[in-house]
């Protein structure tokens, strides 16, 4: 077999990096549950008509097809891997509405697949962590500031740079475009959403190509340049001289969200009217969180309000959600060497093996330590103690246990400092910071 070539966009973390990801997920899960969110996991595939019904995403969807499918068997041809967790969740709500209690608070930590161009922090297979709140017929505006606060609390407990969440409102932008006389506000939103990627000149050119006049295009850019840490964006927008009832509604909603968030977590939310979000299912508040020092790499969390995504017939379940890009955050930090685990294995203690005849004795020592929650393994071979210590050192294991001549007796050595002391497997405990790998 020839040496395999890595697939671009499909990351496989090394064990130490996998430990970091697990700690991330544990932290997110604990905070989400602290706020009353219940776990959900949806299937990996959805019907293509569901995946494609909101927004221009057809180029990003991986279609599912069996290798040995016959021409007569087309049952899989209309299935695709989900590209986010919001669309599957909307389907889940409609399918299980009779068994759910509303407002329904859910979290979902799962992999998704998206046919993007791979680059730093951007993958084709990646893990997301989503929280959403849905309700019947109407969902309160107070959830629009609650969700980014929960996401920020979860991230604040991790050893990563601060994340500042930029927010805007789709009604504000669409009302402004409508007040300018733009015929297709949704198309303008999709172009403005690319501002960070292509820059202002190309955005203006793209808007003109879409049919806007030069004045309309520059007015759209002027709106996108409004960034304030407080509700002063209202006056900034008024100074642009555009009026529309939908614009007023969006301004009022965004001012309410920003004011409430500022009281609870000063400085967390920033009004940034360039935030549009490219997917069409967003209808009100939208968010994009950027990690300090990595702003050019784009959003590491994003989301917003969707009033019509989960609806069929007379049933309507509006919602608000925010997604944390677990793989994106980790990929950026791993790539810059800014985050790692204190050791690449969970093992805290290696029980040294004097000779094979005493392996059962060493196994009993390991069992006694594990019974009290200490991660332990027994040395693979009865090599010289120096080799066993080097084995532990190469793997990052901080302690080596040397069995004594009498059953149960022994000594434990901190191979980092060289300190060694008598120890009893029934009572000995390592320092708290050494029990499990830590992040830093």
Q: Is 281 annotated as a binding residue?
A: yes
User: Do residues 314 and 124 touch, judged by C-beta distance below 8 A?
Assistant: no
Compute and round to an integer the Cα radius of gyration of the chain.
27
Q: Which residues are bridge partners to 401 per DSSP?
A: 351, 412
Helix H, strand E, coil C: the string for 119-157 is ECCECCEEEEEEEEEECCCCCCCHHHHHHHHHHHHHHHC
Torsion angle defined by CA atoms of residues 79, 85, 92 and 80, in that order, rounded to the nearest 10 degrees: 0
Nearest to 47 by CA among 74, 83, 15, 79: 79
Q: Is 17 annotated as a binding residue?
A: no
b/e for 228-264, b at 16 or more Cβ within 10 A?
Answer: beebebbebbeeeebebebbbebbebbbbbbebbbee
| Concatenated DSSP letters of 44-84 | SEEEHHHHTSSSS-GGGPPBP--TT--TT--TTTTEEE-SS
How many whole angstroms separate alpha carbon 19 and alpha carbon 142? 36
Q: Is 216 annotated as a binding residue?
A: no
Helix H, strand E, coil C: the string for 281-329 is CCCCEEEEEEECCCHHHCCCEEEEEECCCCEECCEECCEEEEEEEHHHH
Q: Is 132 annotated as a binding residue?
A: yes
| Concatenated DSSP letters of 352-410 | --S-GGGHHHHHHHHHHHHTTT--EEE-SS---HHHHHHHHHHHT--EEEEE-SSTT-E
The sign one gets for the Cα dihedral 256, 261, 267, 268 is: negative
Q: Is 114 annotated as a binding residue?
A: yes
List of residues 6+ apart from 42 with CB closer than 8 A:
82, 85, 88, 89, 91, 92, 108, 110
Backbone angles phi, psi at 24, to 5 degrees: -60, -50
Q: Is 84 annotated as a binding residue?
A: yes
Q: Which residues are bridge partners to 39 per DSSP?
A: 107
How many whole angstroms separate alpha carbon 392 and alpha carbon 400? 7
Q: Is 193 annotated as a binding residue?
A: no
Binding residues for L-histidine, by number, are 84-86, 114, 128, 132, 277, 281-282
Binding residues, by number, are 84-86, 114, 128, 132, 277, 281-282
């Amino acid at each position: 077999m020839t040496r395999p070539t890595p697939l671009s966009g499909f990351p496989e973390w090394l064990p130490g990096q996998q430990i970091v990801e697990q700690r991330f997920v544990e932290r997110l899960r604990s905070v989400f549950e602290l706020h009353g969110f219940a776990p959900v996991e949806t299937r990996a595939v959805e019907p293509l008509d569901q995946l494609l019904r909101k927004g221009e995403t057809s180029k990003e969807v991986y279609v599912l097809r069996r290798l040995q499918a016959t021409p007569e068997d087309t049952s899989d041809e209309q299935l695709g891997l989900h590209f986010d967790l919001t669309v599957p969740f909307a389907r889940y709500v409609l399918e299980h509405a009779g068994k759910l209690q509303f407002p329904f608070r859910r979290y979902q930590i799962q992999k998704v697949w998206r046919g993007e161009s791979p680059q730093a922090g951007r993958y084709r297979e990646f893990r997301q962590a989503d929280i959403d709140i849905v309700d019947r017929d109407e969902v309160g505006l107070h959830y629009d500031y609650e969700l980014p606060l929960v996401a920020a609390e979860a991230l604040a407990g991790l050893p990563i740079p601060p994340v500042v969440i930029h927010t805007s409102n789709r009604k504000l932008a669409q009302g402004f475009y409508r007040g300018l006389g733009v015929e297709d506000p949704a198309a303008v939103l999709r172009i403005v959403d690319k501002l960070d990627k292509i820059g202002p000149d190309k955005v203006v050119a793209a808007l003109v190509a879409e049919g806007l006049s030069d004045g309309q295009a520059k007015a759209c850019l002027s709106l996108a340049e409004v960034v304030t840490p407080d509700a002063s964006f209202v006056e900034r927008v008024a100074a642009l001289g555009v009026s529309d009832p939908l614009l007023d509604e969006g301004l009022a909603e965004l001012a309410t969200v920003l004011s409430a968030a500022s009281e609870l977590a000063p400085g967390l939310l920033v009004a940034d009217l360039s935030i549009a979000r490219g997917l069409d299912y967003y209808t009100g508040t939208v968010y994009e969180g950027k990690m300090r020092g990595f702003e050019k790499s784009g959003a590491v969390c994003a989301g917003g309000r969707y009033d019509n995504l989960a609806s069929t017939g007379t049933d309507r379940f509006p919602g608000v959600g925010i997604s944390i890009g677990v793989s994106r955050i980790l990929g950026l930090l791993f790539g810059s060497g800014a985050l790692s685990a204190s050791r690449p294995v969970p093992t805290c203690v290696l029980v040294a093996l004097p000779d094979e005849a005493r392996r059962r004795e060493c196994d009993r020592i390991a069992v006694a330590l594990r019974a009290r929650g200490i991660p332990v393994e027994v040395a693979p071979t009865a090599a010289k103690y120096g080799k066993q210590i080097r084995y532990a050192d190469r793997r990052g294991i901080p302690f080596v246990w040397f069995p004594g001549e009498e059953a149960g007796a022994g000594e434990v050595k901190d191979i980092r400092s060289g300190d060694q002391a008598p120890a009893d497997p029934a009572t000995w405990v390592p320092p708290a910071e050494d029990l499990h790998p830590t992040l830093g």
